[in-house]
Structure 1
Amino acid sequence: MERNFSASPIMERNFVVNSTGVLKKVLLCRPDYIEIEPIDEISKSWYEKEYEINKEECIKEHEELVQAYQQNGIEVILIDGKPKLKNQVFSRDFGATIKEGYILGNFKETVRKEETKEYEDKLKELEIPCVAKCEKGVFEGGDFWFLDDKTIAIGTVDRTNLEGIEEIRRQIERFGYEVIAARAEKGNLHLDMCFNVVAERLAVACVEVLSQDFLRVLKEKKFQLIDVPKEGIAKHYCNIEALGNNKVMSFYNNKKVNEKLEAYGIEVIKISLNELLKSGGGIHCMTFPIIRE
């Protein structure tokens, strides 16, 4: 049974209208309780080495990310992590934002499910309406991309399935959106690990792991692709954040991608990021957009 979401005056506000407009407001979570949970290929590799993540360094890196956003005119809403929720720093994944409000996802991994209420409560406090919910299938925000103002690609990689995509499609088609499934090789966690829209019709992507159907769509929409080798996925080379106005938030060790972006005329804001990456996510994973104009 589909859920009905009643209209309200707040729904007249514009929240996120595409992937590349000017980013104005984001929601981040402090990494105070971060630990390595072996729920993806990256974190598994560190877990198997019995590596103990350096929380102080993670906090320092996260603070640098917050400051970089603020220095670029972006308002940052910070929430405190909870001791049991080791991956809560990856705020992107609980859902997604569209122009009309937000979509509440459904985590695949049990260890992340309790994050949902924390974020749901926060968005209620911020008076952001929930316009769709994934309840029967699974959907995580790292798989969500606007290709243009009305075309949304949702990755079916490891954490989102076709049932979840269909649930979302049925609930937001009333707003005029076309939702397509974007397949990629399963071991790559989320679509944002191997594909990232950085400017209008420009994306960083590991072409090797994306499906031919999705690549065909990108070609039809006249995207240019900065290709990333497969070994760059685990190093988070694609996991960066578009700030709008041809600016991108990246990290210093992402040298080749940064150089290619700059060759396209993109201004690259770089931060120090190393320790946080060992838990399986990067800049894009840690950033939930609230307003993007």
Structure 2
Amino acid sequence: MDGCFVRNSTAPLKKVLMCPPIYAYLKKNVSGDDGVEIDDELCIKEHDELVDAYRSNGVEVVLMTPDQKLHDQVFARDFGACIKEGYILGNFRMHDRKGETKSYQEKMDELGIPCVAKCSNGHFEGGDFWMLDDKTMAIGILERTDETGIDEIRGQVGRYGYEIIPVRSSEKCLHLDMCFNIVAEKLAVICSEVLPRDFLNILKDRNFKLIEVDRKYLLECHCNLQALGNEKVVSFKDNREVNSAIRSYGIEVIETHTSEMFKHGGGIHCMTFPLSRG
């Protein structure tokens, strides 16, 4: 691959990187009883359905070879972020995810996508990353990304003319994509009550239309969708109110079954790493 990789969050999605949930599992709490049963075969079936949804809509899907030691590898989004010039390599906060970095870095080398920035001292995960437009990045500071990581990235991508807007939230969401998602040009699904006023004002100034999601639905991934561009978005079947609201703007909603995968703690956006969009 060469040339422009990912121009923004809503241009036509052409190619993505994903990882089948072969070795995903739910971590036990201290007592050894998590109270949740997961159907592994159903998770794999749901992931296959999501892959098929992409492919049937003209998106090329590259699949990782799962590593049995990397139980969160299915959430391909988080190892970094792709921009027009190449990719930003993140730095996981949680020790049990750090092994994913090398695995994904090797895959990006294989695909010929250059690393144009690297987070080493601070922390940065791709679920916190959004392009508001071709030159403006919004990066969440929730549970996994920190100011040091953002400063590192800013120092390296500034030469390309990018502006970075940090977005803070005290909400118990791992990443920004659990409470904010750009689903089409100037259209976002959002839980405004957990995001800062200054960020909401930025969206207003940029003429974003907002589809509100109640706070109680955040951990059920009601914001965690994937824009395909071309007035299409991938969502899940039980996200009825959001899907209906998106359709009211003339956007086609492609619905998949992902409720079992949600038990692992992430959604459609978390499982999808864009490689080419433009």
Which category of TM-score, normalised to the shorter sequence, fits these structures? over 0.9
Counterpart pick for 1:26 among 16, 20, 26? 16
Assess if the C-alpha contact under 8 Å between 1:169 and 1:179 holds in 2: yes
Q: Structure 1: any 5+ residue segments left out of the alignment?
A: 1-9, 39-43
In structure 1, the partner of 2:57 is 72
TM-score, normalised by the number of residues in structure 1 = 0.92
In structure 1, the partner of 2:109 is 124
Q: Compared with structure 1, are the counterparts of its residues 144 and 238 closer, same or farther at alpha carbon in structure 2 (3 Å cutoff)? A: same
Q: Which amino acid aligns with 2:66?
A: G
In structure 2, the partner of 1:94 is 79
Q: Summarize deviations over 1:84-119 as a string: whole Å, max 9, x none.
A: 111100000000000000000000011100000000
- Supply the distance in 2 between the matched residues of 1:53 and 1:127 (Cα, whole angstroms): 36
More off after superposition, 152-161 vs 48-57? 48-57
> Deviation at 1:125?
0.3
Q: Summarize deviations over 1:170-228 as a string: whole Å, max 9, x none.
A: 10010010011011224111000000001111100000100112111111111111010
TM-score, normalised by the number of residues in structure 2 = 0.97
> Deviation at 1:232?
1.1
> Deviation at 1:48?
5.2
> Deviation at 1:51?
2.5
In structure 2, the partner of 1:5 is none
2:6 partner SS? coil
1:147 partner SS? strand
- Supply the distance in 2 between the matched residues of 1:85 and 1:186 (Cα, whole angstroms): 27
Assess if the C-alpha contact under 8 Å between 1:37 and 1:86 holds in 2: no
Runs of 4+ in structure 1 over 4 Å off? none
Q: Which amino acid aligns with 1:30?
A: P
The 5 A counterparts of 1:141-160 are 141-160=126-145
Assess if the C-alpha contact under 8 Å between 1:239 and 1:285 holds in 2: yes
1:159 partner SS? coil
Counterpart pick for 1:56 among 41, 44, 51? 41
Alignment identity in percent? 57
- Supply the distance in 2 between the matched residues of 1:170 and 1:195 (Cα, whole angstroms): 25
In structure 2, the partner of 1:217 is 202
The 5 A counterparts of 1:259-274 are 259-274=244-259
Number of positions where the alignment pairs a residue of Structure 1 with one of Structure 2: 276
Alignment RMSD, CA only? 1.2
- Supply the distance in 2 between the matched residues of 1:62 and 1:278 (Cα, whole angstroms): 13
Counterpart pick for 1:107 among 88, 92, 97? 92
Q: Summarize deviations over 1:261-286 as a string: whole Å, max 9, x none.
A: 00011100000111100010000000
Q: Which amino acid aligns with 1:86?
A: H
2:133 partner SS? coil
Q: Structure 2: any 5+ residue segments left out of the alignment?
A: none
- Supply the distance in 2 between the matched residues of 1:34 and 1:54 (Cα, whole angstroms): 11
> Deviation at 1:136?
0.4
In structure 2, the partner of 1:170 is 155
- Supply the distance in 2 between the matched residues of 1:89 and 1:273 (Cα, whole angstroms): 13
In structure 1, the partner of 2:265 is 280
- Supply the distance in 2 between the matched residues of 1:268 and 1:183 (Cα, whole angstroms): 29
Counterpart pick for 1:197 among 177, 182, 190? 182
Assess if the C-alpha contact under 8 Å between 1:37 and 1:87 holds in 2: no
2:120 partner SS? coil
- Supply the distance in 1 between the matched residues of 2:171 and 2:156 (Cα, whole angstroms): 26
1:66 partner SS? helix
Counterpart pick for 2:164 among 179, 187, 194? 179
- Supply the distance in 1 between the matched residues of 2:157 and 2:212 (Cα, whole angstroms): 31
